[in-house]
């Protein structure tokens, strides 16, 4: 079984904890992958600064520098192909992935979302906004979802979910802190399933096959 040649897409708003968890899981032999590239929209992203200090390969591609989404997609694909990437993890990337990249890497792009989709997903639902909305709605349960990325926000086929209780007195910060370790575990599990070729997709159903 060959290692995933993984690109992690990070955003400016996250802490970079998911990409750090990927790096740690690879180092500890829990994930059969290599970080081939860390892609950011800005040099100021905490995850990019960490990657550069850790001597991991980075590419800064600012979508605002391109005339349209197709040109942004081409720039991304050029970098991804040059780095030999065969799978992508969106780890705090808060934008919609250009459709050119989605179709070139169909069912090879995973996103981690901090809620139980299809609840609390969609444009603008990222990071603390998600936890605020869960609390405002009065949910008693939240969690995280790893899903394949399609052309829209948070709508692709679900791979894994983990649930956590909402507790009396929770704040967006306390709820996020309870869920975050689950995000890391679910993302690693899903990536390892992908590395082991154990995921197939039929319509919107992801089948998880037993290990060989
Ligand atoms: C994570 O909680 C992730 O689930 C969320 O952004 C955070 C990034 O944290 N992603 C979304 O909300 C996507 N819609 P990190 O930078 O510490 O990995």
Q: What is the pLDDT of residue 126?
A: 94
Q: What is the pLDDT of residue 212?
A: 78
The phi and psi torsions of 26 (rounded to 5 degrees) equal -65, -45
Output the six-digit token pair for 7: 């690109």
Answer yes or no: is 173 within a domain: no
Answer yes or no: is 201 within a domain: yes
Answer yes or no: is 189 within a domain: yes
Q: Contact, 109 vs 137, CB < 8 A?
A: no
Q: What is the pLDDT of residue 202?
A: 98
Residue with the smallest CA separation from ligand 1 atom 17 is 17
Average pLDDT, 10 consecutive residues per value, the chain (212 residues): 94 91 98 98 94 96 96 98 98 94 98 98 95 98 98 97 98 98 98 98 98 84
First CA to last CA distance, the chain: 11
Answer yes or no: is 124 within a domain: no
Instruction: Strands of the chain (E only): list them.
Output: 4-10, 33-40, 58-60, 87-90, 109-113, 141-148, 158-165, 199-202, 205-208
Beta bridge partners of 111: 90, 147
Answer yes or no: is 174 within a domain: no
Residues 6+ apart with CB under 8 A from 162: 143, 144, 179, 182, 183, 185, 186
Q: Is the peptide bond before 118 cis (omega within 30 degrees of 0)?
A: yes
Give residue 180 CA to ligand 1 midpoint distance, Å.
9
Q: Which of 21, 119, 121, 126, when mutated, tests ligand 1's pocket best, judged by the most ligand atoms within 8 Å of its CB?
A: 126
Output the six-digit token pair for 115: 């809620």
Give residue 212 CA to ligand 1 midpoint distance, Å.
32
Give residue 126 CA to ligand 1 midpoint distance, Å.
7
- Which residues are designated catalytic? 113
Q: What is the pLDDT of residue 14?
A: 81
How many structural domains are present in the chain?
Answer: 1
The domain that contains 16 carries what CATH number? Answer: 3.40.50.170
Rounded-to-10 torsion of CA 66, 35, 81, 203: -90
Answer yes or no: is 108 within a domain: yes
Answer yes or no: is 191 within a domain: yes
The residue range of the domain holding 197 is: 4-114+146-160+182-208
Rounded to 5°, angle at Cα 97 from 187 and 137? 65
Answer yes or no: is 130 within a domain: no
């Amino acid at each position: 079984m060959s290692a995933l040649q993984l690109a992690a897409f990070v955003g400016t708003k996250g802490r970079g904890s998911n990409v750090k968890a990927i790096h740690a899981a690879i180092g500890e032999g829990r994930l059969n992958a290599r970080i081939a590239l860390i892609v950011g929209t800005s040099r100021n992203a905490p995850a990019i600064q960490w990657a550069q200090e850790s001597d991991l390969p980075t590419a800064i591609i600012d979508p605002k520098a391109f005339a349209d989404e197709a040109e942004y997609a081409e720039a991304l694909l050029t970098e991804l192909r040059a780095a030999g990437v065969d799978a992508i993890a969106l780890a705090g990337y808060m934008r919609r992935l250009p459709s050119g990249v989605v179709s070139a890497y169909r069912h090879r792009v995973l996103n981690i979302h901090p809620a139980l989709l299809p609840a609390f997903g969609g444009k603008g639902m990222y990071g603390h906004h998600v936890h605020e909305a869960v609390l405002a709605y009065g949910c008693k349960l939240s969690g995280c979802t790893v899903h394949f990325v399609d052309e829209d926000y948070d709508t692709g086929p679900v791979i894994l979910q983990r649930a956590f209780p909402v507790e009396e007195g929770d704040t967006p910060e306390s709820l996020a802190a309870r869920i975050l370790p689950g995000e890391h575990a679910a993302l690693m599990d899903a990536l390892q399933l992908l590395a082991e070729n154990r995921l197939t997709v039929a319509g919107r159903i992801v089948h998880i096959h037993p290990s060989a």
